Structure 1
């Protein structure tokens, strides 16, 4: 019979062995070559390595991981607009295509609800958000529900309780608010249906605090982060405060809406604010946003009442940085650049300062990042 010491030693060895086999993988889409690139991230050092690339199709853009990590969904923004589903191997992270389904239109944003039974999307060009079922086999169904929005819907997600859904409506300067029926996938407006933001803010991406008390909204044209309190009963939003993330030293003018009506600001020589992504750290104490024109990332601290405060702006080597993602342990930040040949891994230091520690080759026009930590 083993002694207590031998038993403790054996348990420790077994625990270390299990930890050694847990892996963190990142999946990054690159629409210009139609690839989804899989990377391995070393949780201890931040080292990033390209594992393999999967050809998904022309203009593969937003990605979404199922809550259980067993499936990855990829939306194609070339006609016919479709979503492809992939099985994620639990050990290697390898992707195997399992099916595809039609989409409501070209989607700029993709997410699952918290149960993994519904696929949600936002169409910037068609001014709508959509909901469609996901089967027990993790393959989306063809039935699609749509809700028309104001101009340029840019994101949609359900809150941690899965009872409410919110969307960034860039062209209308609204944060849309809905109840969400997890049985039917239906969305219904809460109150007026939205919370208003100042003109030309351009609400784009959103993030929730893990406890579901707060919602954070990125202003693409203002370079601001605005915090809202979520009413736990009705889901209605009430603003807590806003913080600007663009220091004067960057020399950026206020941004403008970009779409077909203005040829995406082609020919405009003015350096303008063009914020892209927003991510909250696993401990909910640090918030990052990307700014494409200056190729930089701004950091915000979050206080005990959920309010953001600007703490610093940090240049990154990735040109025109689009999406970012935290490692599950909160020590590393991954950054893609739409005009960069590499993906960067950054160590997160004091006040959110970033130090580049690793890189790996990227696909062309890399942008969307989803991160998954496998469980042994």
Structure 2
């Protein structure tokens, strides 16, 4: 039974991230449009900044900053001025960085405690709250970034793996991998509090392992990737209540991959070492900017699966699965113009850029050196003024 009651965790956050009071210069009148990618690498504690040429897909390493041991999930503020990065060693903390509006370079801004070791980080749609999910502690958390207030924590079933608010910022959803549930909440944008919608969850088929989430831009549909099933489940979101209704499922694992479904991977064997079973190990899920394509990464086969999205009905159709050169691809991310897909590999020395064709096909066009164990990707586009 999932416990949806919350409690205040520990002492108040003594070091607020002070997003609201940060003084940051705006873009200069002569600034050129630019696209930057930020990639965390827990193996060396770095965040690498890349420039992405949206005309040809060229990727270049610009700079690297030391973020801290086991830097892992990250989140961009909606205004593009702050990058948050969670450190997964005690004392669990989030590091906030200012983003230079012209160069995209990062500078350390503030640190604050986190409730637990967090596998997932996001902000709400206003940027006032930092949302997090702890896989190991079965916990969700919400904390303000500009006030010294207690962190709100919510116990979940086994292995919470994501938490995001919908485009309207009225509802929040979480992938609960170990319970085969997608948790559904109302989100109070004034206090950050979560309250369950109905029973507080919708169930998915056994051994799916709900992991990451993606929303349609209009807020009508939610997509959830199954880590152990390699499927993507589509839900309709009730406009008034936020309640989820399952409308379809698409399998992203073709038979030719010879992967076993529904078998959890022990966290102690997170790198496939000596694993006798080639099992499905899906990871990330990203929707294209135009909403017509959905991509899923699969680590065991080092591949990416593409789905077509019916933007009217929300239904999915599997297109194909494409091998990528990045070994054990954890995160993927679209460029803002939708022409390129960035891919990191936990066991790769490079980050790759792939051209995306209209049918979802991928063609590798660029690469750049990665940090050790490259993992989380956040992409930022700055506009000319």
1:58 aligns with 2:69: yes
Partner SS, residue 37 of structure 2? strand
CA contact (8 A) 1:312 1:351 kept: no
Partner SS, residue 351 of structure 1? coil
1:198 aligns with 2:205: yes
Runs (4+) of structure 1 exceeding 3 A deviation are: 262-268
Partner of 2:88: 77
Partner SS, residue 171 of structure 1? helix
Mind listing any 5+ residue stretches in structure 1 that lack a counterpart?
A: 1-17
Partner of 2:49: 38
Mind listing any 5+ residue stretches in structure 2 that lack a counterpart?
A: 1-28
Shift of 1:172: 0.1
CA distance in structure 2 between the aligned counterparts of 1:41 and 1:177, rounded to whole angstroms: 36
Correspondent of 2:120 among 97, 104, 109: 109
Partner of 2:18: none
Shift of 1:170: 0.1
Shift of 1:351: 1.5
CA contact (8 A) 2:31 2:102 kept: no
Shift of 1:143: 2.3
1:133 aligns with 2:144: yes
Shift of 1:256: 2.1
Shift of 1:268: 3.4
Partner of 1:3: none
Shift of 1:134: 1.1
1:313 aligns with 2:324: no
Shift of 1:141: 4.5
Shift of 1:236: 0.2
1:186 aligns with 2:197: no
Point out the structure with max Rg over C-alpha.
1
Partner of 1:355: 363
Partner of 1:15: none
Deviations 1:272-331 (A, max 9, x none): 000000000000000000000000000000113110110010000000000000000000
Partner SS, residue 83 of structure 2? strand
Shift of 1:142: 5.8
1:342 aligns with 2:353: no
Deviations 1:108-137 (A, max 9, x none): 0000000000000000000010000011xx
Partner of 2:280: 273
CA distance in structure 2 between the aligned counterparts of 1:230 and 1:148, rounded to whole angstroms: 23
CA distance in structure 2 between the aligned counterparts of 1:309 and 1:156, rounded to whole angstroms: 25
Deviations 1:26-75 (A, max 9, x none): 00000000000000000100000000000000000000000000000000
1:236 aligns with 2:243: yes
More helix by percentage: 1
Shift of 1:263: 5.6
1:225 aligns with 2:232: yes
Q: Aligned-residue CA RMSD in angstroms?
A: 1.6
Q: Judging changes above 3 Å, is the alpha-carbon distance between structure 1 residues 292 and 93 closer, same or farther for their aligned structure 2 residues? A: same
CA distance in structure 1 between the aligned counterparts of 2:187 and 2:212, rounded to whole angstroms: 19
CA contact (8 A) 2:167 2:217 kept: yes
CA distance in structure 2 between the aligned counterparts of 1:112 and 1:259, rounded to whole angstroms: 29
Partner of 1:26: 37
Partner of 1:164: 171
CA distance in structure 1 between the aligned counterparts of 2:224 and 2:59, rounded to whole angstroms: 29
Partner of 1:286: 293
CA distance in structure 2 between the aligned counterparts of 1:109 and 1:273, rounded to whole angstroms: 20
Partner of 1:95: 106
Shift of 1:20: 8.2
Partner SS, residue 155 of structure 1? coil
